Structure 1
Amino acid sequence: MGTLETTAKANPPASPANLLEAAKAGDAEAFQVLTQRAVPIIFRRALKITSNHHDAEDVLQETLLKGFTHISQFRGDSQLSTWLVRIGLNEAIMIMRRRRHDAPLVTESGTSGKAEGPPEVFQSVKSGNDSPIVRTEVGGLVHKALLRLPARARQVLHLRYLEGYSIEETANRLKLSRGSVKAYACRSRARLRKELRRLLMPRHRPSQHARPE
């Protein structure tokens, strides 16, 4: 017993402040610990708005992804859970607006007349606004997600959004048509986001929290 007590004292649980500091440095595990209590709240609020389990899970996953990517913007003026719930509410409202207007999927080929920009995580990796540690940790998460994609999808995303090549340049380097590059980029962005969500919430099972508040 004495040994166990000594070990517990030597390795006390990390405080919320320490976990937040670690999460801001790009520690995904610290972020998971911090967000565990917020997960059921975000999910239930999203479910109330969307009335759809699938959409509510999408809202939750997107909220966690955005929360992790932008956690450096959290100033501590409120609880982290409150900040995340606000992000979740905005995501749920956006889903409802898209559903109401039956908005078409925006692709690089311009279904709606506009090209979709690179995923936010790529912008975070390349941004000079975050510390090198944050960029490295987020970059590591992106790398893990990319490894889960097919080889061609990885190549297209890497050249387009990390190296900054144009569609024409990417097509020439990979010996693909412009249309193929556009199609790969569109499909691969969605797939990458799903893989990033899975990496950020391996312990979270939102469907278990579907009870109304």
Structure 2
Amino acid sequence: MVSDREMDWELLQQARGGDFSAFETLVARYERRIFGLARRIVRSEHDAEEVVQQTFITLIEHLHDFRGDSAFATWLLRIASNHALALLRREAVRSTASLADDIRHDGDGDPPFPSFIAEWRETPDQILARAETRRIVQEALDELDDKYRLTFLLRDVEGLSTAETAEALGITEGNVKVRLLRARLMLREKLTRIFGDEARAVAPHRHDED
């Protein structure tokens, strides 16, 4: 059975040879996924469509640049995320600080400890199986500061490596790790208040009380 990675490579080779139908097949395979990523980053369907167009224009222009060091999907998602981030910066979609700012505050210090901790009533996969809870999760994600939200999207949702996420956001790998940890903790606290079992709440532990 041919793997997705092998299929992508074969289609890419055909597209490089001038087979436009192979290129169209690549577009069909990844258009929805790229749109989903772009929509979550720029929060606008119109802008997300622009990101999709720019991503595939870039693909046409750089068909011969992909060397297979990573999966084609990862490479393409990195291109899409770069276009989406560039659009965010260019249009100032949100009046937040620069995505790469305050690096000095992303050191190795202790992350903020959640004020409410409890075992969830259901497992994460059971929670995400319902459309309503997917909406709640998305709303919780939207409430995060951009630098944490985007790190979480690229690293945990789209599966980019730490190095690839760092490259896309223009920060160090160490900053990616710290931002990802903080994003996970903040999301965990937000969602625990909805899905947690208050009967099994745990008193928060603070490092300054040691």
Between Structure 1 and Structure 2, which shows a larger proportion of strand residues? 2
TM-score, structure 2 as length reference: 0.39
Which structure has greater helix proportion? 1
Q: TM-score, normalised by structure 1?
A: 0.38
